[in-house]
Structure 1
C-alpha cells in the first residue's frame, strides 16, 4: 500500500516496492504491464512509467520497446581459460545449465571453418547446433564443427549426454584445451533472436573458440552467440 501523506513521491514508493519484489524473486522475467501496475497501485500510467524508468537506471529491469519490461537477471561470468568451457563457469557459480541439441548434420566446410580447423578446402565436418540453457532460460545458440572422418559418429555420444567434455571423453579424447578465442558483438539474425526470446535490435555476445587435443591437433571450432544481457566474459591475467 502507498502512503500518500508520507512526503515521499508515489513513483519512488512504487520503485521501492517493485525493487523489493525483484530482490525477493517475487517478480521474475516479464513484469506486469503499465496498465496492470497502475491498477495495482491505484495511480496513473505516467507514475508507473517513472518508477520503471528509475528501476531501469538502477539496472534492475530492462525496458524493450514493443515487448514490455523484464527483470534483469544477474550476469553469468563466462571464464575463458585454457581448460575451461562455459559449463565449467556454470558449475563454479552453482547454476543449473544444460544443452539442448537442435540438429546434427554432415556438411561441406566453408572457407572460414576450414581455416579454423586447419583442414583442406574440400573437407566435410560434423555440425552440431544446440541451445545453452541456464535455469530454464535460453542464453546462447551454439554451433560446433568437428573434422571428419575423425569424428564420424560423435553425434551419438553428444546427443546421449549433451556436454562436450563428457562426450569427448566417451569418444576417447581425455584431454582438450582452448587454442584461441575471439570475442565480438553483433546484432542477431531473426532466427537467433527468436531462439533467445529477444528483439533483433539487442546485441549478442559472440564467442568463437578453437580447441585442440593432447597432441595439439585441432578437434573443434565453436561459435556461440550469447544474449548480451545474460553473459559477460571473465578473464584473469594468468588464464592463458
Structure 2
C-alpha cells in the first residue's frame, strides 16, 4: 500500500468525486496496490468525513478498480484472468496463454450415481455410475475456482488418481486414451455462491460468482465429461470464442 497524494480541490465538483478520481489515478498509475487505506486513514489524508470517503470507494468498486471484502478491507483488484470458452480450450489453456501459474488441487473423489440431469448431459442411462472429482483451480497461490467434474464409468475408472498425479484434466484424459476432444456445451450464468463455495473463494455470499457448465465429447462425439466451474467473478472473466 502506497501513500495517497494530497487532494487538490476543484471548485464546482463534488468532493467525493475528486477523491474518487485521485484514488483512481493512483491505482491506474500503479502508485497504490494491494490493500487500500481504511476509511479513517483516507478521511484524515483528504481532510473529509468518512461518509465522503465511503462514497468515493463505492464508486471505485462500481468501476471494478477495487474489491470490498467484508471484515478484511478494500483491495485493489488484480487484472482478471481471461477464460476463453472455445471448442477445444480449457481453463488450463487460457492460463498457459496468459503465462499464469495454475494448477488443480483435488479435494475429493468418489464413484456414484449422479443426479438425472447429469446423466442426461452425459447421455447415460438411469442408474449409471460416474466418477465425481471435486477440485480447486489455484492461480498464483490463490483459489479462483471451485470445480466439480463427472466422468462416465467404466471408461474412466482411475481418472482421479491420474488427475491427482498430473494436475490437469486434459493430461489425465490423454493418459486414458482421449487426446482429442471438443466442447459441446458451454453455459455461463451468474449465481450467488453457496456458503462453502464462498468460503473457498474467500468472498461474501452476497457477491455473485460465474457458474460455468461444460460438456466435452471425444472424436466420435461421445460425452466424456460434464463439468461445473464456480469462478470468483473478480478474478476471472469469460470470453466466448467461435
TM-score (norm 1): 0.85
Bigger shift: residues 90-99 or 113-122 = 90-99
Task: Tell me, yes or no, if the aligned pair for 1:109 and 1:121 is still in contact at 8 Å.
Answer: no
Deviation at 1:94, TM superposition (A): 2.0
Task: Call closer, same or farther: CA 1:170–1:201 in 2, change over 3 Å.
Answer: same
Query: Number of residue pairs matched?
Result: 235
Instruction: Choose the corresponding residue for 2:200, options 173, 195, 204.
Output: 195
RMSD: 2.6
Q: Secondary structure at the match of 2:186?
A: strand
Residue equivalent to 1:233: 238
Q: Please say if 1:24 is aligned against 2:30.
A: yes
1:22/1:71 contact within 8 Å kept: no
CA deviations over 1:47-105 (Å, ceiling 9, x no partner):
53344234334431133555532322222221111111111112222222211111111
Unaligned runs of 5+ in 1: none
153-162 vs 51-60, which deviates more?
A: 51-60
For structure 2, list consecutive stretches of 5 or more residues without a partner in the other structure: none
Structure 2: distance between partners of 1:2 and 1:26:
10
Moved over 6 A (4+): none
Task: Please state whether the residue corresponding to 1:140 is helix, strand or coil.
Answer: strand
1:159 aligned partner: 164
TM-score with structure 2 length normalisation? 0.84
Q: 2:119 aligns with which of 114, 117, 126?
A: 114
Matched, 1:34 2:39: yes
Change (3 A) 1:207 1:17: closer
Are residue 224 (structure 1) and residue 229 (structure 2) matched? Answer: yes
Gap change, CA 1:225 and 1:7, over 3 Å in 2:
closer
Local SS of the residue matching 1:105: strand
